[in-house]
């Protein structure tokens, strides 16, 4: 058994999730691969696996039960958070992980190939790239953990949206001024999240076009 198996299992249960042993083991394989690649490629500033478990795996898992269904795009996925974690837990969901950083996308492509994952692809491009936008099409759910500004995330999401798409923005503090700025265009449901062993505020903002 993986040394962090029980920690991950207990943490996911505290989030209200019932993940199979297979999903938990896949998540830990992903974390092990991230730790290994991080030594050479600096994919994430967090180096300690115990800290990764909380700040990457459990933090990403915290949005899972509130995430709308459908084809998902993770913009600015970095090393795969939260997109890869969602894909590993929900094999029925098609996920596209987008980032402009070549090293991070190479890591994700290698991991996808090694595990023969069928429901997730990693794409290296900038969100402004028109050809990529046309090629990737529209998504039901667009998520990100990377954007400091909600306004910037909305702008990056627009080309990938159809009329019923939902933007799922992971935030620490609620960006109340930005929510107010967009209230005439988007309804916003704000969900408070509690991540086990993380003493920081976390929120999920679900924005839908009015």
Q: What number of CA atoms fall less than 13 Å from residue 169's CA on the CB side?
A: 27
179 is in an annotated binding site: no
Spatial separation of the C-alpha atoms in residues 28 and 141, rounded to whole Å: 25
Report whether 69 belongs to an annotated binding site: no
| Cis, bond preceding 44 (omega within 30 deg of 0) | no
Q: Do the annotations mark residue 161 as ligand-binding?
A: no
What DSSP letter does each residue of 169-195 carry, written as one string?
EEESS--HHHHHHTTTTEEEEEEEE--
Q: Which residues are annotated as a binding site for S-adenosyl-L-methionine?
A: 76, 81, 127-128, 145
Q: Which residues are annotated as a binding site?
A: 76, 81, 127-128, 145
């Amino acid at each position: 058994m993986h040394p962090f198996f029980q920690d991950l299992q207990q943490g996911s249960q505290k989030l209200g999730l019932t993940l199979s042993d297979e999903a938990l083991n896949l998540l830990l394989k992903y974390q092990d691969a991230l730790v290994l690649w991080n030594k050479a490629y600096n994919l994430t500033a967090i180096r300690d696996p115990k800290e990764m478990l909380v700040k990457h795996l459990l933090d990403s898992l915290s949005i899972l039960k509130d995430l709308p269904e459908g084809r998902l795009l993770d913009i600015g996925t970095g090393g795969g958070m939260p997109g890869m974690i969602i894909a590993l837990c929900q094999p029925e969901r098609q996920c596209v992980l987008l980032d402009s950083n070549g090293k991070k996308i190479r890591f994700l492509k290698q991991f996808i190939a090694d595990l023969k994952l069928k429901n997730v692809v990693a794409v290296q491009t900038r969100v402004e790239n028109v050809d990529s936008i046309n090629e990737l099409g529209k998504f039901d759910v667009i998520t990100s953990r990377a954007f400091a500004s909600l306004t910037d995330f909305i702008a990056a999401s627009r080309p990938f949206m159809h009329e019923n798409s939902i933007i799922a923005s992971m935030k620490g503090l609620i960006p109340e001024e930005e929510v107010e700025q967009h209230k005439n265009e988007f309804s916003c449901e704000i969900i408070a999240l509690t991540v086990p062993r993380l003493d920081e505020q976390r929120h999920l903002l679900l924005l839908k076009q009015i």
